[in-house]
Structure 1
Amino acid sequence: MLLATFRFFSIFPLPVLHALGSALGWLVYLLSPSVRRRMRENMARAGFEQHLPQAVAEAGKAIAELPFIWCADPARVSRRARIENWELVQSTLDAGRGIVFLTPHLGCFEIVAQEIALRQELMVMYRPPKKEAMKPLIEGARARKNLLLAPANMGGVRMLAKFLKKGLPIGLLPDQVPQEGEGVWADFFGKAAYTMTLPAKMAQLGDAVVIVTYAERLPLGRGYIIRFVPFTGSLDGDSAQQARAINAAMEQLIARNPAQYYWSYNRYKVPAGVAAPAQEAA
């Protein structure tokens, strides 16, 4: 039923879906006190509260565009995407070095992996959905030609490491809250956030290159611009310092288009089994 619904909405033009999404974003914002509170708090902490109205609409677009991104013909989706700075990626691949793509929850992050896979084999880590009914939709939509999936467990980490050592690219969501034992507390927009250590560990395998990337959502449903940005931070130091360097890179990327970040995400939650950061535990 869910898959059929998504396929039905995938027929709609992207401008229509984004218009519906804007309305959906405001409906959720007005009806959900927790979403309202989290968006306001997170945006104020980051200094982007002036972008709140646009962020509400963009959050709805991020949901409404999923049928198009996941279920529409890949060629139709690709026609809506424009690539910027692919030369950075290609020169790294030509040098035989692996790439760790870091894509935060910014803009239409779902389209990034699909567009890379049209040009180059890619393996991405994903967290299997908790609801069984969602698996055919999410796993089927994400598994495309040249796009391989690695589950978010030790087996998946080994798959990523093996792939990367061959000089092939992998993709991670660095701002997703990891589970116990998979992260450290690191500053993110002025507050400690439990941050995964995996990106830095992967980057150190086979002298891989870190590239941060996102897909900016254009106004009026005109499509997306996928941008590839060099990572200029240092991954020297311990796990906490590495995590902070990656969080800093994500902050810089988000500052490019703050209205399109996923501000309602509970980025500062304390995962089960993890001790709260020192300043909160005191």
Structure 2
Amino acid sequence: MFLVRWISGWPLRLLHAVGGGLGWLVWLLSPTYRRRLRTNADLAGVPASARRRSIAESGRMVAETPWLWLRATNDDLVRKVTWRNPEALEAAIAERRPLVILTPHMGSFEVAARAYTARFGHLQPVTVLYRPARQRALREFQEQARRRPTMPTAPASLAGVRQMLRALKKRESVGLLPDQVPPDGQGVWAPFFGQPAYTMTLAARLTQQTGAHCTVLRCERLPRGAGYVIHSSELVRPLPAGTDAASQLEAATIINETMEQVILSDPGQYLWGYNRYKPPRAADIPETRAEGNE
């Protein structure tokens, strides 16, 4: 923890420089990571230049985390973050509509939540879904570092889902990673870059049960520690109103199509090494799966 706190005081430009090297070191040392990154990027038709860039960007994401958790203030985030096309988001908040905010494993997705809090938290707090670390000490540190007065955290569990439902019913916002693999029974197999991927149904269920508006935020990391740009956008088409199996599959497909469009807008910042196609335990696995996605 001493080392993490010391690193958190480094300038963002230095953190990103060191993080870029860290990303390449992990790539060199892990054959499994190299294979998964290559397979996932090939499925999406991503050029080699963007794939190489994503290796360094993943390291920068790790390196900036101590700064974000321990040092960054709301004033820092207001100063370092520029917003693009926030009009629909601003209108929804002005109308006090509950919001489901989707952010893929792309760029500085944790910065997106903090930047939302810095700009809109006093108007409409956001509850963020997260997966707790297994180690107790790390889990406690993670919870303490992420917690903010207008950004409570909810664990990826039934209790966390109930917490998010309560927030939406109070006309607040919730944030989650729609490309995170859910536990068995909490998702459906939907296409993601042409490959079956177990996709959460939680985002659609939250909007259906509360009438929330669903929006997308992508946080772009600028070069050499210059800051961040948050791009706000909408789903490619509205989610269905039904709750039957066919509607859940349609909703998951719409969300995946939206994520594909967002990711391909800047593929060099997506975490292609993330095990997106991992099947949950005890799940029935579709026969059509690319080699390398075990």
TM range (shorter): over 0.9
Counterpart residue number, 1:18: 16
The Cα of 1:46 is off from its aligned counterpart by 0.4
What do residues 88-139 of structure 1 show as CA deviations (whole Å, max 9, x unaligned)?
2221122231110000101000111111112221111111111112123211
**Residue 162 of structure 1 aligns with which residue?**
166
Amino acid at match of 1:69: L
Which residue of the other structure, out of 230, 234, 238, is the alignment partner of 2:238?
A: 234
Identity of aligned residues (%): 41
Q: What is the DSSP-based 3-state SS (H/G/I as helix, E as strand, rest coil) of the residue aligned with 2:259? A: helix
Q: Provide Cα deviations, 1:203-254, integer angstroms capped at 9, x if missing partner.
A: 1133211110111000111110112112232322521111111000000000
Aligned counterparts of 1:20 and 1:221: Cα–Cα separation in 2: 11
Q: Give runs of aligned pairs for residues 1-282 of structure 1, distance below 5 A.
A: 2=1, 4-50=2-48, 51-74=50-73, 75-118=75-118, 119-120=120-121, 121-236=125-240, 237-279=246-288
Deviation at 1:173, TM superposition (A): 0.7
- Deviations 1:165-202, CA, capped at 9 Å, x for gaps: 22211111100000011111000011000000000011
Q: What SS does the corresponding residue of 1:181 show, helix, strand or coil?
A: coil
Secondary structure of the structure 2 residue equivalent to 1:232: coil
The CA deviation at 1:140 is 1.3
Distance across 2 between alignment mates of 1:86 and 1:245? 21
- Cα distance in 1 for partners of 2:21, 2:210 equals 47
* C-alpha distance in 2 between matches for 1:71 and 1:131: 19
CA separation in 2, counterparts of 1:270 and 1:21?
A: 30
SS at match of 1:147: coil
One-letter amino acid of the structure 1 residue matched with residue 62 of structure 2? I
Residues 1:47 and 1:20: Cα distance change in structure 2 (over 3 Å):
same
Query: Which consecutive unaligned segments of at least 5 residues does structure 2 have?
Result: 241-245, 290-294
CA contact (8 A) 1:117 1:145 kept: no
Give the superposition deviation at 1:84: 2.2
Once the two structures are TM-superposed, the CA of residue 257 in structure 1 deviates from its matched residue by: 0.8
Whole-Å separation in 1 of the counterparts to 2:83 and 2:140: 29
In 2, Cα distance between the equivalents of 1:267 and 1:182? 15
Structure 1 gaps, min length 5 = none
Contact 2:236–2:257 (CA under 8 A) maintained in structure 1: no
Contact 2:164 2:174 in 1 (8 A): yes
Quote how far apart the aligned CAs of 1:77 are. 4.2
> Match of 1:110, as an amino acid?
E
The offset of 1:60, in angstroms, is 1.0
Offset at residue 278 of structure 1 (A): 4.1
Q: Is the 8 A contact 2:167 2:173 kept in 1?
A: yes
The range that moved more, 29-38 or 77-86, is: 77-86
Runs of 4+ in 1 over 4 A off after TM superposition: none
Q: Distance in 2 between matches of 1:159 and 1:136?
A: 19
Normalised to the residue count of structure 1, the TM-score between the two structures is 0.94
In 1, Cα distance between equivalents of 2:37 and 2:158: 33
Query: Is this contact kept in 2: 1:167–1:206, CA < 8 A?
Result: no
Instruction: Name the aligned partner's letter for residue 66 of structure 1.
Output: T
